[in-house]
Structure 1
Amino acid sequence: MDKLTPENRSENMRRIRGKDTAPELAVRKLCREIGFSGYRIHRKDLPGKPDLAWVGRRRAIFVNGCFWHGHECTEGLRKPRSNQSYWIPKIQRNKQRDSVNIATLRASGWSVLTVWECEITKREKLAKKLKRFLSPKTPNNAFNADAPKRRAG
């Protein structure tokens, strides 16, 4: 049972930002720290308006909240306490929309990385992931951070 009244819950949900979130700002800061500035934010001319985009490199990063985008982590698997008939389908639609946007970008020759909110606290690991993704040596569309790693042998 929700401890807040429906009006208070609605007000809380209304205040949640869609851009310039704390995780997004943390990823931007980390990108600058590891030497990858020059990105553009929320490009309206690109599918899904990536949170960060390096147009010349054709690299795009989405910084997603685990709950809102249905990540397969503890937070992402948590069910909303109230109005489940609205929120569960909404999160499913978010996941479908994300998949379409990523596929469209990749079909246009872009490399796409999704950084999940739960990854932000592991800065060193995230920095390595970002460096590998943003490296000029990584060919476009060759990097798929969401795919499972292959083992040699």
Structure 2
Amino acid sequence: MSRVRGKNTTPEMRTRQCAHAMGLRFRLHREDLPGKPNLVFPKHRLVVFVHGCFWHRHPQCSKASFPKSRTECWQAKFDANITRDSRVAQKLETMAWRVKIV
């Protein structure tokens, strides 16, 4: 678990490269916003979260595997992540930010 990174992951870096290549400018991991979004486009009032399939459990995702041991512990952790993700998105939307999840 110590090797699980929260910042500068491969999917996040690829998303950043695409946005930059399109000429979009952004800020990274702004701590003054709920959930510390991966990318923040202040000019467009847009935040982007780059969520991993394993941790965030997107519906109908084929890459979201489930550990075979301690299943009840993992299920509680995944449920908490899903609840937190929706709570953060609602909070940002009430602050007039658009939320996108990659």
Compute the TM-score of the two structures, normalised by the length of structure 1: 0.63
- How many residue pairs match? The answer is 101
> Is 2:77 aligned against 1:90?
yes
> Is 2:18 aligned against 1:30?
yes
Q: Secondary structure at 2:96's aligned position in 1? A: coil
Q: In the TM superposition, what whole-angstrom CA distance separates every residue of 1:3-28 from its partner, at most 9, and x where no partner exists?
A: xxxxxxxxxx2211011111000100
Report runs of 4+ in structure 1 exceeding 4 Å deviation. Answer: none
* Cα shift at 1:54: 1.3
Alpha-carbon RMSD = 1.0
> Is 2:80 aligned against 1:111?
no
CA distance, structure 2, for counterparts of residue 60 and residue 87 of structure 1: 28
* Cα shift at 1:55: 1.7
Q: In the TM superposition, what whole-angstrom CA distance separates every residue of 1:37-94 from its partner, at most 9, and x where no partner exists?
A: 2x11111000100000012321100000011001120112x21122222211101100
Compute the TM-score of the two structures, normalised by the length of structure 2: 0.93
Q: Secondary structure at 1:75's aligned position in 2? A: coil
CA distance, structure 1, for counterparts of residue 49 and residue 89 of structure 2: 9
Structure 2 residue runs without a partner (length 5+): none
Give 2:45's aligned residue: 58
Give 1:75's aligned residue: 63
Instruction: Find 1:101's aligned residue among 88, 98, 101.
Output: 88
Q: Counterparts in 2 of 1:14-25, with a 5 A limit?
A: 14-25=2-13
Larger Rg: 1
Structure 1 residue runs without a partner (length 5+): 1-12, 116-153
Residue 24 of structure 2 aligns to which amino acid in structure 1?
A: F
CA distance, structure 2, for counterparts of residue 16 and residue 51 of structure 1: 16
CA contact (8 A) 1:80 1:88 kept: no
